[in-house]
Structure 1
Amino acid sequence: MNLRLALSLTTILYSTVCQAQPPTLNLYTFESPPYQVASQEKGGGNRISGETADTVVCAANRAGWATRIRITPQNRAIHSLERNMIDGYFAIDPSAELDNIARRSDPVALEKWYFFTGGNKAFTNNLRIGVVAGSNEEAWLEANGYAIFLSVSSPSQLLALLKRGRIDTALMDERVMNRLRYENDSESTQLTANFVRYAPLYLYLSEAFVSEYPDFLGTFNRTLNSCMAGQLALSEEETRRITELSGRLFKEMISVLDINQIIEAGPRQESFTDVMTIDSQWQALVPVTTPDLAERILALPGSRALLAWQESHRGLVTEVMLINDMGTLAAMSQLTSDYWQGDEPKFQRVMENRVTGTEAERRLYISPIRYDTSSARFQITASTPVVPGHGKSAIGVAVIGLSIEEALSQVEQY
């Protein structure tokens, strides 16, 4: 092989390999274990990992992009984002400043913020509040009119100041505090945890990046729920409280609505083939318009009754639907993305083996936390079988959606 031919083949091979490499998304974030953690790699570089970093990497990869993530102070990150020196910055609480200079993704993380106070002291507005300087929590306190007594450089300093009585309360994420207490052998120290909010955190993309790659954000958002799978689990105590709340809500619903009759009055298809055909058409139309069948279901007296009951619990109940034993919608308080619900856990878990009687009445399924794009909030669903009488088989499933923040806004003892 002559030299010229060899060089030509090498050039072609190199060009092909380069073209196969995905483009790289250049991102900034800040260190916040266990969500974003910097570790040393061979060769001296830093590797950024952790739950939120891994979620962003996963969603970007599925959108066809590699990532390069670096740790930097918030002020520098915002400065760089504003001047289009980076592609994006995460995991950030939404702000008017950032919304003016960049485009926000769907949430890439969900933190649970508490005011942690020493002993059994309840939170009041006159307590000395400590917070990490430059954090999402500090920005939220300032935006909501709280007086900050002390800002420090790290969460571990907040725990030390709490133990010494230098501050009365600290605002931080629950998992960050639990990790600190474990690492510092402080788990025996009594703290009162006063729930503040579920804090969704976002990726902000520069305007220049979004303008050059307009399809990226939509693809990135569509993959987030699957990339976050397993990270939004309810604790054992939260599951207990949600189960009790859901049980009370279902009991109330059954007492004021004839849900058996509503299911019987809903539409029903002759065959599973018909169900699949309608479901495919439904899913194709819903992002743009309301299918004719959906219009008819929403106009049913049963659907209007479900909506009225939902509105009586405004802020807590986010949706209500009744599903017949074929797995299709019989009534709904608002438009859903699917007509056939039979392949989803909220239906399958409570209809397994055609449960009957008291067994069905005890069966309740609580879903994982998910971000609902239509309502722009995190929610869970609770579902229970609908049984017409003792000893009879379930004729369908009742489902309610709950705002997780509203459902868990209570004081807890640690």
Structure 2
Amino acid sequence: MKQALISLLIGFSLILTPVLSNAEQAPAKVVELANSTLANIGKDPVIVKAVKDQNDKGMSLDQIKAKDNEWKDTPGIADYMKSIMESECGRHLRGIQESESFYAEIFVMDNQGANVAMTDKTSDFWQGDEAKFQKSFNNGNGAVFVDDVEFDDSAQAYLVQVSVPVIDGDKIIGAITFGIDVDQIQ
């Protein structure tokens, strides 16, 4: 029993380690939100289904990178971007976003870091080369990641990106990132 408790505590501290390393940059309320509410959204059935469906498509990394280049070269919002925003999961994310004033943006990624759904156009399609995906997907092990607070020009607000794994049962299948307006956190 004692050994199981020690293992549990070590495992719990490993999950929290990425959060605590940036905690000094994020208000305590954001860290609390990340480890409770936001982590649970990563288990939402609508989000899980969308990520599973995207993963089942089996896109190669070369296909994802080609889409990423097209994405970055496209001004405005093209129809294929709009379809990600207006999908069932995109509409669901918009409902989550509208539920709290501090949600500036929300987007979901598959097991390679490619966009699955989003509330607003992201600057690129592939997040797989960025800390938000790498630290929250964590090679399929999952972790909560709270990034540094930064001024976001498009939102004209100080935002912190919080990323959590998308979890299907006990398997990490993707990640979700929330742009949190730190001035709106109560």
Aligned to 2:122: 336
Q: Are positions 1:301 and 2:79 aligned together? A: no
Aligned to 1:273: 62
Alignment of 1:27-46 (within 5 A): none
User: How many residues are treated as equivalent by the alignment?
Assistant: 164
Q: SS state of the match for residue 122, structure 2?
A: coil
Q: Are positions 1:398 and 2:185 aligned together? A: no
Q: CA deviation at 1:273?
A: 1.3
Q: Percent identity?
A: 24
Q: Counterpart amino acid of 1:296?
A: S
Alignment of 1:131-170 (within 5 A): none
Alignment of 1:187-202 (within 5 A): none
Distance 1:257 1:377, change over 3 A: farther
Q: Which has the higher helix share?
A: 2
Q: Could you tell me how far apart the structure 1 residues matched to 2:144 and 2:126 are?
A: 20
Unaligned runs of 5+ in 2: 1-21
Q: CA deviation at 1:269?
A: 5.7
Q: Could you tell me how far apart the structure 2 residues matched to 1:256 and 1:347 are?
A: 18
Among candidates 238, 249, 252, match of residue 37 of structure 2: 249
> Which entry has the higher C-alpha Rg, 1 or 2?
1
Q: SS state of the match for residue 127, structure 2?
A: coil
Q: Are positions 1:386 and 2:166 aligned together? A: yes
Q: CA deviation at 1:311?
A: 0.4
Q: Are positions 1:366 and 2:155 aligned together? A: no
Q: Counterpart amino acid of 1:262?
A: A
Normalising by structure 2, we get a TM-score of 0.78
Q: Could you tell me how far apart the structure 2 residues matched to 1:234 and 1:351 are?
A: 19
Aligned to 2:98: 311
Q: Could you tell me how far apart the structure 2 residues matched to 1:265 and 1:313 are?
A: 28
Q: Counterpart amino acid of 2:177?
A: V
Q: Could you tell me how far apart the structure 2 residues matched to 1:374 and 1:269 are?
A: 33
Unaligned runs of 5+ in 1: 1-232, 410-414
Alignment of 1:6-405 (within 5 A): 235=24, 238=26, 240-251=28-39, 253=41, 257-266=45-54, 268=57, 270-285=59-74, 288-314=75-101, 316-355=102-141, 360=142, 363-390=143-170, 392=171, 394-405=172-183
Q: Could you tell me how far apart the structure 1 residues matched to 2:139 and 2:71 are?
A: 28
Distance 1:367 1:397, change over 3 A: same
Q: CA deviation at 1:270?
A: 2.6
Distance 1:339 1:240, change over 3 A: same
Q: CA deviation at 1:351?
A: 2.2
Distance 1:254 1:280, change over 3 A: closer
Normalising by structure 1, we get a TM-score of 0.37
Q: Counterpart amino acid of 1:370?
A: E
Distance 1:387 1:254, change over 3 A: closer
Is the 1:266–1:297 Cα contact (8 Å) retained in structure 2? no
Q: Could you tell me how far apart the structure 1 residues matched to 2:125 and 2:78 are?
A: 10
Q: Could you tell me how far apart the structure 1 residues matched to 2:41 and 2:167 are?
A: 14
Is the 2:109–2:117 Cα contact (8 Å) retained in structure 1? yes
State the structure with bigger RCO (CA 8 A, min sep 6), 1 or 2.
Answer: 2
Runs of 4+ in 1 over 6 A off after TM superposition: none
Q: SS state of the match for residue 105, structure 2?
A: strand
Q: Counterpart amino acid of 2:151?
A: Y
